[in-house]
Amino acid sequence: AEPVPKQEPAATPAHLRDLTGTLLDVPAGADVELALLTINERGLPHKLLGNIQLRGTGAPLPFRLQFNPENFDQGIRVELRGRVHQSGKLVLHMPSQFIREPQSQALGEIRVTPAL
């Protein structure tokens, strides 16, 4: 039998950038949503720049969120936020990640924490 070639992630299109990292402590079967958002002066989400949804495996969970750098307005605060639902209930969240530049970035390992 022929070996099955390993699926490599598709390359990021030239006009887009991506944020990559690994979420830690996501339970198996949990639903994860990551959202790249502009944040207004009151600290509230204003505009969605990109989002992805993932399913927890119980192991470290890699992610890649693509976005268009042209949507970054000068002087606007941009954050990557995440939340984890299990059985429809918010159980964990990812500490907000401040994204300073509209460039591709590796955010490393990010531990999710209990939702308050």
Degrees to nearest 5, angle at CA 109 with 103 and 112: 110
Q: Collect all residues with Cβ–Cβ distance below 8 Å to 19 and sequence separation of at least 6.
A: 36, 63, 64, 65, 67, 80, 97, 99, 104, 105, 107
In the predicted structure, residue 11 carries a pLDDT above the cut 80? no
The string of pLDDT tens digits covering residues 56-109 is: 999 999 999 999 999 888 788 999 999 999 999 999 999 999 999 999 999 999
User: Considering the chain, what is the average pLDDT of its residues?
Assistant: 91
Structural domains in the chain? 17-54+77-114 (2.60.40)
Q: In the structure encoding, which two tokens stand for residue 97, read together?
A: 């990640």
Nearest to 84 by CA among 30, 45, 29, 23: 30
Please state, for a pLDDT cut of 90, what percent of the chain lies above it: 78
